[in-house]
C-alpha cells in the first residue's frame, strides 16, 4: 500500500500550520504597534461578555433575519469542522471513515446533521449573495466597500458554497462505491441530502466514481485548510479575533469617556494632590502626544478592534451623523486604522521608514471632517456585534487636533473656553446658573 497520500496530506497540513503561524505573527506585530495597555480587570465579567457576545452572538439578534442565517453558517462552521478531525486521522493513517465502525447508527445521525448544516449554509450564503449583489442592501454597498472589500465578501460566500457542495458530492459518490463493494468504502445508509444528488453519479463507472470521490475529499480538506488561512487575510478574521476582542472590550458605562492620564497627572499636581511618578516635565522620556495622530498613538486594543472588524456596517447604519449625510462612517474609521497599521507594519518588516514615511492616520486616511461629525452618542459601539469601539479612536484623534494642533472649529473653542472659565458650555457665571429657577418661583408666587 502506497504511503504517498499520507505524505502529501502531512505536507499540506504542515504548510497550513506554517502559513497560519506566519500570519498570526504578523498580526501580532501590527497590533503591537499600539500603546501597551494595563492588565484587564473584572475578569469574570469579561469571560461572561465573551461567552454572550462572541460565542452566543447576542448582539446579532437585534436583526432577526440576518442573525438567523448567520447563526446557521456559524453553527455549521463549528460542527462540520468536527468532521475535519476524521479527515485528519484518515489522511494521516490512510484509513477511510475511521469512526463509522465504532459509532454505528450514531455516525449516520451525525452525518445527516452535517449534511443538513451543509444545505443550510448553501441556502444562507445564497441569500447573502442576493442581498449584496441583487437587492443591494445600502450598508453593504457603501463607498468604503468598493474594490477588494466587496470582492472579498463575495469570494468568502462562494468559497463556502463550493465547500458544502464538495461535502455532498463526496458523500453521494462514496455511498455509491460502498454499495458496489469497491475497496474500503463503508455503507452508512440513510444519508438524506446527499441521496438527492446521487442520480448525477449513478451512470459513472467505478473508476470515475473513485476519481470524483477522492477529488471531493481532497478538495474539501485542502479547501478547509486553505479557507482557514484565507480568513486571516479577509474581513472574516473576526472568526478568530472576535473572542479576544470581546474579552478586552470596554466595560465602562456607555457615554463615560476615559480621562487622559497625562492630563490627570498634571491637574492633580496643580491641585496639590499626590501623584505617582511626578509630572511629565520630570520625565521627558515618557512625554508623548496628547491624543492620537497615527496608529502608534492608539492602544493595542484599538488596533485589535480594527483587525476584528467584520465590515458588516451596522455601526455606520446606526450612526446619526452618517444618516444625515455627513462623511463619517464608523466602519471606515476601523478599516482605515487597520489599513494604516498594515502599511506601517509592512514597511517596518521590509526595513522601510515605518511611521516616518511622511504619512499618518489623521489626514492621510481619516479627515477632520469625519471625526468632527461624530456626536459621541455611542450608537456605533452599541450596534457592533463584536463590541468594537470606533468612538475611542475618534476621540483620540479629536484630542490630538484640539490639544496639539489647536485645530478645532472656532465654535468649539468658544465652548471650551466657557467650560474652562464658567464650568458650563454657556457664557455666564456659575453663580447665575439657577436664576431661571428663581424666576419660576417668583412667577408661582404671583
Domain spanning 4-31+63-247 has what CATH number? 1.20.950
| All CATH 1.20.950 domain ranges in the chain, comma separated | 4-31+63-247
| All CATH 1.10.1060 domain ranges in the chain, comma separated | 288-408
What average pLDDT score do residues 372-386 get?
93
Per DSSP, helices labelled H in 364-407 are: 368-372, 379-383, 390-403
In order, the DSSP letters of 19-31 are HHHHHHHHHHHHH
For the stretch 288-345, pLDDT in tens is 678 899 999 999 999 999 999 999 999 999 999 999 999 999 999 999 999 999 999 9
The cell numbers describing 304, all together, are: 485589535
Q: Which residues pair with 362 in a beta bridge?
A: 366
The burial class, CB within 10 Å (0-12 / 13-18 / 19+), for 439 is exposed
What average pLDDT score do residues 37-64 get?
90
CATH architecture of 288-408: Orthogonal Bundle (1.10)
For residue 274, pLDDT over 90 is answered with: no
For residue 271, pLDDT over 90 is answered with: no
What CA–CA distance (Å, rounded) separates 393 from 341? 13
What average pLDDT score do residues 380-396 get?
94
Closest CA to 346 of 354, 356, 357: 354
Average pLDDT for the chain: 88
Residue for grid cell 520625565: 283
For the stretch 154-198, pLDDT in tens is 999 999 999 999 999 998 998 888 888 887 888 887 788 988 898
Confidence (pTM)? 0.85
For the stretch 92-126, pLDDT in tens is 888 888 888 888 788 888 889 889 999 999 999 99
Query: Per-residue confidence at 423, pLDDT binned at 50, 70, 90?
Result: confident
For the stretch 8-21, pLDDT in tens is 888 998 999 999 99
Asked whether the beta carbons of 168 and 118 are under 8 A apart, the reply is yes
Amino acid at each position: 500500500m502506497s504511503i504517498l497520500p499520507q505524505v502529501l496530506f502531512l505536507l499540506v497540513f504542515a504548510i497550513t500550520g506554517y502559513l497560519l503561524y506566519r500570519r498570526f505573527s504578523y498580526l501580532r506585530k501590527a497590533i503591537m504597534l499600539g500603546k501597551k495597555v494595563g492588565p484587564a480587570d473584572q475578569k469574570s465579567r469579561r469571560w461572561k461578555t465573551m461567552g454572550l457576545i462572541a460565542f452566543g452572538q447576542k448582539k446579532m439578534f437585534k436583526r432577526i433575519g440576518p442573525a438567523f442565517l448567520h447563526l446557521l453558517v456559524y453553527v455549521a462552521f463549528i460542527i462540520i469542522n468536527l468532521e475535519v478531525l476524521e479527515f485528519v486521522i484518515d489522511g494521516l493513517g490512510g484509513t477511510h471513515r475511521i469512526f463509522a465502525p465504532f459509532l454505528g447508527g450514531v455516525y449516520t445521525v451525525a452525518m445527516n446533521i452535517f449534511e443538513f448544516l451543509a444545505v443550510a449554509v448553501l441556502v444562507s450564503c445564497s441569500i447573502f449573495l442576493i442581498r449584496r449583489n441583487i437587492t443591494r442592501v445600502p450598508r453593504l454597498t457603501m463607498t468604503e466597500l468598493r474594490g477588494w472589500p466587496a470582492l472579498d465578501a463575495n469570494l468568502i460566500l462562494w468559497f463556502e458554497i463550493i465547500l458544502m457542495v464538495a461535502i455532498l458530492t463526496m458523500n453521494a459518490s462514496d455511498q455509491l462505491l460502498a454499495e458496489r463493494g469497491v475497496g474500503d468504502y463503508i455503507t452508512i445508509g440513510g444519508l438524506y441530502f446527499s441521496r438527492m444528488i446521487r442520480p448525477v453519479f449513478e451512470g459513472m463507472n467505478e473508476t470515475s466514481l473513485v476519481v470524483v470521490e477522492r477529488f471531493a475529499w481532497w478538495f474539501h480538506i485542502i479547501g478547509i485548510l486553505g479557507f482557514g488561512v484565507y480568513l486571516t487575510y479577509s474581513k472574516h478574521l473576526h472568526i478568530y479575533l472576535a473572542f479576544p476582542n470581546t474579552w478586552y472590550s470596554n466595560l465602562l458605562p456607555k457615554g463615560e469617556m476615559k480621562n487622559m492620564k497625562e492630563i490627570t497627572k498634571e491637574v492633580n499636581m496643580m491641585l496639590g494632590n499626590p501623584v505617582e511618578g511626578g509630572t511629565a516635565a520630570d520625565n521627558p522620556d515618557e512625554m508623548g502626544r496628547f491624543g492620537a495622530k497615527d496608529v502608534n498613538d492608539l492602544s493595542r486594543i484599538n488596533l485589535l478592534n480594527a483587525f476584528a472588524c467584520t465590515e458588516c456596517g451596522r455601526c455606520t447604519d446606526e450612526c446619526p451623523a452618517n444618516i444625515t449625510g455627513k462623511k463619517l462612517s464608523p466602519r471606515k474609521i476601523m478599516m482605515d486604522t487597520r489599513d494604516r497599521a498594515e502599511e506601517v507594519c509592512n514597511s517596518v518588516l521590509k526595513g522601510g521608514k515605518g511611521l516616518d514615511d511622511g504619512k499618518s492616520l489623521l489626514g492621510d486616511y481619516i479627515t477632520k471632517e469625519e471625526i468632527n461629525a461624530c456626536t459621541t452618542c455611542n450608537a456605533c459601539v452599541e450596534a457592533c456585534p463584536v463590541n468594537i469601539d470606533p468612538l475611542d479612536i475618534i476621540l483620540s484623534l479629536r484630542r490630538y487636533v484640539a490639544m496639539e494642533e489647536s485645530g478645532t472649529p472656532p465654535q468649539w473653542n468658544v465652548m471650551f473656553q466657557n467650560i474652562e472659565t464658567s464650568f458650563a458650555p454657556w457664557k455666564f457665571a456659575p453663580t447665575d446658573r439657577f436664576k431661571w429657577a428663581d424666576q419660576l418661583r417668583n412667577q408661582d408666587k404671583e
